[in-house]
Structure 1
């Protein structure tokens, strides 16, 4: 019988190292912020159902790329997981319970499904924090096989990877060393923080400052001195009218990043906050 899934505690995650930080459990914890009645066991059971369906087929195959092809075929062709191209920035694409229910997601949420299924089947799939769209990677004899979860796990060759990276590198094409570094496996903490950054960006764009602040706060539960998250939560607090929280976060951000490009304007805001002259807009 499959064990029940116990979600971690937000207050304990900062002290967890990347080897013990649970990927699926923390991703579902993120979703529970938005869906308090989320049934973690039901979500876990859906992953396990994919695994049970695939086990005999995957175990009969020898090379990892063939195993991965079988996993992708099941997830993307038989079950029907797909990238939500029509409503890419729908926040539901970042919440795993909604990904399971709708069979739609963004690159990183679909990668999370792939990774969890593959690893339970003994296939060492990792995430890649590639600029732009999140990818996954699988070790092969002569290097790594890189795949795009947003496009049904389609393999990507070196030329396409270089072209995809260029717009995020000031138009420069990465050389072999730079590309190798970009393709390093992402830690669990890095993956979960990217999920939360995506959510912060979506909610900030919608002027949903309470949820934007929550997303930044959750990043800080994973990495307590993350400068960007301190700034983002502080600015969201400003929009919400929570001046004390804004003052604390922005002061800490400037302490950690005194030479940041936005340090000047933020110092001015801190002075206004301290003097009580800040105008909300």
Structure 2
């Protein structure tokens, strides 16, 4: 089973486990690796990190002092920051992957945590409390005013802020956000092969549609796989409404024109 198929099967389950799903996602970036073995290695490291942790303060100390996990502010858009095995190995990540580490190590230690998908800066919260942590900044506790300041630094001073931006983020939404980060990185790098696996995984999760399908076909075309891209779009067109079907069919014709 290839990495995309493994990920698709996993996230199709009623309640996909965040740790396994995030590790399966990362396997798309290592097609010649052994996904099953890599996943088990990542799970074992998360297990190890949880040993002896008994409190939230202890968890923060273990991860950000003893183990020296940190936010990679120097090279934020390095794709390895969005791939959990690399984060576990390098001890560097971005807010959302550091949050996954914190949530999953906490779960193993009996500390219930949840992701908070504040736009521009992912946070972690102790379930049932108002305790928010900035794991990109070493697990620093945040007040509501400090959350707002981080939000405005990313979204602008006039952007409206409120409690609706601090709701819990479910597992599939976390995975979508991780994939969207990688999508933006690989698009900017014009890395069509990487963009392909990211988009295939994105299409396995809620909220994907026409833009992702068109971009996937374009990524195939950028690899000179014009027939593959056209065939994909034609297959999507078969089950689409008339307006979408026309757009998909026209895009397929554009790809096939490269064969002339």
> Could you tell me the TM-score, scaled by structure 2's length?
0.81
| Pair 1:185 & 2:168 matched | yes
Q: Which residue of 2 aligns with 1:234?
A: 217
1:39 deviation in Å?
Answer: 2.7
Do the aligned partners of residues 273 and 43 (structure 1) sit closer, same or farther apart at CA in structure 2, a change above 3 Å counting? closer
8 Å CA contact 1:72, 1:153 repeated in 2:
yes
Aligned-CA RMSD value: 3.2
| Matched pairs, number | 248
Which consecutive unaligned segments of at least 5 residues does structure 2 have?
A: none
**Secondary structure, in 3 states, of the residue corresponding to 2:127?**
strand
CA deviations over 1:2-29 (Å, ceiling 9, x no partner):
xxxxxx9334245323xx2011111111
- Alignment partner of 1:131: what SS? coil
Partner of 1:162: 148
Instruction: Give, in whole Å, the separation in 2 of the partners of 1:208 and 1:104.
Output: 22
2:13 aligned residue: 16
1:1-281 pair list within 5 angstroms? 9-13=6-10, 15-17=12-14, 20-35=15-30, 36-37=33-34, 39-54=38-53, 58=54, 67-140=55-128, 143-166=129-152, 167-168=154-155, 171-174=158-161, 179-223=162-206, 225-247=208-230, 252=236, 267=247, 271=250, 273-274=252-253
Report the Cα distance in structure 1 between the residues aligned to 2:122 and 2:255, rounded to whole angstroms: 43
Q: Which runs of 5+ in 1 are unaligned?
A: 1-7, 59-66, 260-265
TM-score, normalization by structure 1: 0.76
Specify the SS of the correspondent of 2:174: helix
List per-residue Cα deviations over 1:46-98 (Å, max 9, x = no partner): 111121132xxx1xxxxxxxx21221111001110011111111111111111
- Shift of the 247–180 alpha-carbon distance from structure 1 to 2, 3 Å rule, reads farther
CA, structure 1 residues 240+170, in 2 after alignment: closer, same or farther (shift >3 Å)? farther
CA 13–48 in structure 1, closer or farther in 2 if over 3 Å, else same: closer
Return 226-235 or 101-110, whichever deviates more. Answer: 226-235
